[in-house]
A and B are shown apart, each in its own frame.
Chain A
């Protein structure tokens, strides 16, 4: 028997941050690290280390994807990896002046959807080297890759291409 009739919970010194007392509003903290697998998309992230932008091509109906997916949305068949051209054109664009908390420090940043000749779908990326007033639908852009990979889709980004 180890009964202790005078048992006491140890006190903590952390306290709680209080914003308001009526109603009582307190700070509640939460954070988590995920063990995120890129699974069937892994090759896309690895290929950027070789300065390659990989999309997908359907083995059955030949539909091509600028953003990879391992099965075709048109016919359901398996796709194969397909190297995209380095140059494309702006399909649409924006400049974000605000954003999610995780990205606020990066604002303002440009987002574009890139279209590649002969490829049926688009690719979303960041564009640097141009301001809002410089970006136009149809503008030629080129992929560049970071040297130190973060294994994030931001390992590739686009810059404007001078057109003569």
Chain B
């Protein structure tokens, strides 16, 4: 496993405002809005796009198969090459990386990665059923049939393993909903207290309604290019410095109890008595981070990364993910948030956009949305795109985006770097 064989840049991005339901537009029009925003930002025309990657998770939500080619068609990109990439919650991250590979391989010089999901076509509980079908239908779906239940068991074990508290989980919700107050694309910006989070209805212990992201309608687009095209199209492209991805067993029950795969800055003695990953950590997240860091030349992530957009479908997952990414050691994630290290003005701002918790989670669009927000951060153009600069990190050099599928089955980590 080595580096990308040629430099890949992100040159533009677009996102629709995520909402609980926007029946005034279908998925094609939603993507078109995000696509046109991205195209107009760098004055691109359809002839400038070599091909595309379609990012969407479920065929159930719309009862429409081949939605990808319908978008391709609607955008006017036929007969150019395209394919669909799918991997649960990590669909966006995997698709982004597939687009990166199209450029890195030399097959395409420009590639549009478009992501979408229209989840409002069914009620929330039916939506949960569709999502739960992304668990083993022989052994897991008939027993739990509810992803929040699976994550809740992981969270309960995490609390037991490391002595963290439910109030510390709640702090993630408070932070991310608050950040979103300045993000015009966010679905649920809110000013919350820890008590608000704990007092909201219990969904699956220890996770309350405000510990869990919502379902959404939304679309997002990232446009990638090789070095030559990138600098022709933009005076401020952002380099994709490294990508990594990992996997884990579909069934939580099968997760082993082994040793922590160490990052460059960690020692075996850090984790003498820790059985890993068990059901308290995401081994795929660690695997993805290790690969991405190696390719990007990162040896001490907390010092070398300036902004992170990670997959906080649950407050607990954000805390678990700090550790997988090596922003702190395993077991220190809860303190990382309660000490304010992930705050907008903290050591490394995590989910300054508001994350999935506050922006919403239209599955196929989510990972692309993260890419767009990190891209704008590194371009230092948040003010232009958000209409205010409250969330602009000052002079960020390097950003990390992290996309994650059901209980950590697929995880991607991509590192982007400002060049201007």
A residues at B contact (CB < 8 Å): 20, 23, 25, 28, 30, 36, 38, 41, 65-67, 69, 73-74, 91-104, 111-113, 120-126, 132, 137, 152-154
Known: A41-B139, A124-B143. 11 other contacts (CB 8 A): A38-B138, A91-B157, A92-B154, A93-B153, A95-B202, A96-B204, A97-B204, A111-B153, A121-B256, A124-B140, A124-B251
Among B89-97, B124-132, B183-191, B390-398, the one that faces the other chain is B124-132
Known contacts being A124-B140, A124-B143, is A98 close to B204, with CB within 8 Å? yes
B residues at A contact (CB < 8 Å): 23-24, 63, 123, 125-126, 128-129, 132, 137-140, 142-146, 148-150, 152-154, 156-157, 160, 201-206, 249, 251-257, 279
Q: List 17 A-B contacts (CB under 8 A).
A: A67-B139, A91-B157, A92-B279, A93-B156, A96-B152, A99-B144, A100-B129, A100-B145, A103-B145, A111-B152, A113-B153, A121-B255, A122-B254, A122-B255, A137-B157, A152-B142, A154-B143
Q: Is B252 a contact of A100 with CB atoms below 8 Å?
A: no
Please, how many angstroms separate the alpha-carbon atoms of A132 and B153 in the complex? 12
| A152 cross-chain contacts in B, Cβ below 8 A | 142
B63 to chain A, nearest CB (A): 6
B20 to chain A, nearest CB (A): 14
A to B contact number (C-beta, < 8 Å): 128
Q: Is B146 a contact of A96 with CB atoms below 8 Å?
A: yes
Please, how many angstroms separate the alpha-carbon atoms of A69 and B256 in the complex? 14
Best-surrounded residue of B138, B202, B252, B254 (most CB of chain A within 10 A): B138
Best-surrounded residue of A36, A112, A121, A137 (most CB of chain B within 10 A): A121
| A126 cross-chain contacts in B, Cβ below 8 A | 143
Interface residues of chain A: helix, strand, loop or mixed (majority): mixed
Q: Is A122 a contact of B146 with CB atoms below 8 Å?
A: no
Q: Is B132 a contact of A100 with CB atoms below 8 Å?
A: yes
Q: Is A67 a contact of B132 with CB atoms below 8 Å?
A: no
Please, how many angstroms separate the alpha-carbon atoms of A147 and B191 in the complex? 52
Q: Is B123 a contact of A101 with CB atoms below 8 Å?
A: yes
Across the A-B interface, give the 4 residue pairs with the lowest CB-CB distance, nearest first.
Answer: A100-B129, A92-B157, A94-B152, A101-B125
Please, how many angstroms separate the alpha-carbon atoms of A69 and B257 in the complex? 17
Q: Is B138 a contact of A99 with CB atoms below 8 Å?
A: no
B201 to chain A, nearest CB (A): 7
Q: Is A94 a contact of B145 with CB atoms below 8 Å?
A: no
Q: Is A98 a contact of B125 with CB atoms below 8 Å?
A: yes
Q: Is B128 a contact of A100 with CB atoms below 8 Å?
A: yes
Please, how many angstroms separate the alpha-carbon atoms of A74 and B256 in the complex? 9
Q: Is B125 a contact of A113 with CB atoms below 8 Å?
A: no
A25 to chain B, nearest CB (A): 5
B303 to chain A, nearest CB (A): 34
| A111 cross-chain contacts in B, Cβ below 8 A | 143-144, 149-150, 152-153
Known contacts being A92-B157, A96-B152, is A101 close to B129, with CB within 8 Å? yes
Known contacts being A73-B249, A94-B152, A97-B203, is A120 close to B256, with CB within 8 Å? yes
Nearest residue (CB) in B for A138 is B160
Q: Is B138 a contact of A124 with CB atoms below 8 Å?
A: no
| B143 cross-chain contacts in A, Cβ below 8 A | 111, 124-126, 153-154
| A94 cross-chain contacts in B, Cβ below 8 A | 149, 152-153, 156, 204-206
